[in-house]
Each structure stands twice: as structure tokens, then as C-alpha cells.
Amino acid sequence: MKIVIKNPAKAECFCNLFQHIKLFSDHINIMFETERMYVQSMDSSRVSIFEIELPALWFEEYEIDNPVTIGISSSMIFKVLNTREKSQEMIWTVADTDAEKLELHFTCENKAIFDKRFELPLMDLDYELMNIPSTESQAELTIPSGTFANIINQLKLFGETLEIKCDEEKIEMLSLSVDLGKMAVDINIDDLTEYSINEGQTMNLSFSLSILHNICMYSKLTKEVEIKLTENFPLKLEYKLGDDGGKMTFYLAPKISDN
């Protein structure tokens, strides 16, 4: 198995994908299939699932003779990727003769920047892939990812639950608590890149602000984020990674009202 990323922007994006995974899971399986690289994991509270999908053409080189799944520490892979200089290309290999370790190599033509090599032990992780059913969303919006992250970070100051209320005319996001008061954000749908909702639909959904805060740590991946809402189903939040079909997707279960 061998993958190579030479494009500096893609190499930076690839590193960013793994930067905050430790907030969700201590260990992950990375699946190198013939057509794509795929990661799926669930957070420790079993409230959210994330997926990373990068098609083979996303990489400059993608050599997978047989599908390989590698289990690795989220913290360790973050530490390694954090040592990469921005001009360095990245090479990952797992030898057919030694499938117990992952080798990483960072290199560039600038002789003032030294090459770096790493060997990381691999793990056998017991994780069964979740089958995530495809559903017809009742409302969809596309919003600048930085704007959405700022809204979530501010709402988190006033409580632990995000309430989203939306209809054909408006979107309201709010957070409140007895001790801290209430904050509400009115979103003008004309200012959104895209917004659609079923005719006559009115929605009132609740989600964990703590987990949304962690999800928004990825806001620098893309300029915009797509959010899909369906009553009694998880919120789907997607960062699209360029035109090659790469994406990072989160599914966050709704909070159940005490009422």
C-alpha cells in the first residue's frame, strides 16, 4: 500500500482532517480500498458519527493492490502530521511483508527543510461499520463554515443545547439556560448560499452544542458547510473537499425533549 500527496493545499487539508479526530475517538480504522480511502467512527458518547471519504483520484499516487485496514491512535497520527512543514509532500506506506507498522515520509525540494521519517505501530481495532440509511431531508441550508462556527461558539456560552427553528420564511438558532439567560440568532435566508424546506414545513429540533462545537473545529476545511435536517433523524453536516469528490461528513443525533 502506498499513497502520495504532493499538492501543498491537499496535503494541508489531509493533515487538518486528522487534527481534531481525537475529540471524537481515541483510535480509528483507516480503510484503504481500491477506489477510495474511508474512515468511519463514533464518538465515545455514541451521539455522533463521522466519515472521511477521499476517492483514489484525490491523491497523486494511490497504489492499493489489496484492500488494507489500519488501526491507529488518533493522538499519535495528529502528533506526526503536526510536524510536517507546509511545503513538504507526504508519503504513506504499509509493506506487504510487514503489515504491523505504518511508515510516513515528509519530503520537499527545499534543502533547508529536512526530510522526516516515521514508523507507527498499527492496532487491531474491533469496530463494526454503521450502515447509515439514506433519507430525504426536509430542510437544507448552505452557510459559510466560519460564520456557522462563530454562531455555535457564541450560543455555547448560554447553554448546552442548540434549538433550530425553521420554516419557509426564517431560521432561528437559540440557546438558553436558567442561570445564563438566552441568546437567539435570526438568520436571513436571503443571505444563505442555499436554503430549501418542504412546502408548509415547520421544524423545531435540538442538538448538543458541545458536539457541534467540536464539529465546527473543522470549519477551516472549506468555505461553506452543508446542513441537512430531518425530524427524528440525525442532523447531517458535510464539508466538501474540492471538486474531486472528497468529503468529511458528520451525523449528530437529535436531543429528545423531556416533554
Q: pLDDT digits over 177-200, tens only?
A: 878 889 999 999 998 999 999 999
Give residue 30's identity as a one-letter amino acid code. Answer: I
Whether residue 117 is found in the same domain as residue 148: no
Residue with cell 463521522: 50
Phi, psi of 132 (to 5 degrees): -95, 110
- Looking at residue 215, its pLDDT comes to 97
28 within 8 A of 41, measured Cβ to Cβ: yes
Q: What is the CATH classification number for the domain harbouring 207?
A: 3.70.10.10
Whether residue 41 is found in the same domain as residue 94: yes
Q: What is the pTM of this model?
A: 0.93
Q: What is the CATH classification number for the domain harbouring 59?
A: 3.10.150.10
Whether residue 149 is found in the same domain as residue 113: no
Cell numbers given for 259: 416533554
Write the burial class of residue 145 (CB in 10 Å: 0-12 exposed, 13-18 middle, 19+ buried): buried
Domain range for 39 is: 2-121
Whether residue 85 lies inside any domain: the answer is yes
Phi, psi of 67 (to 5 degrees): -55, 135
Q: Which pLDDT band holds residue 101 (cuts at 50, 70, 90)? A: very high
- The count of structural domains within the chain is 2
What separation, in Å, do the N-terminal and C-terminal C-alpha atoms of the chain show?
53
Measure Cα distances from 181 to 158, 211, 245 in Å. 6, 21, 42
Residue range 28-51, pLDDT digits in tens: 999 999 999 999 999 988 899 999
Whether residue 126 lies inside any domain: the answer is no
The chain-wide mean pLDDT, for the chain, equals 93
Residue range 102-125, pLDDT digits in tens: 999 999 999 899 999 999 999 988
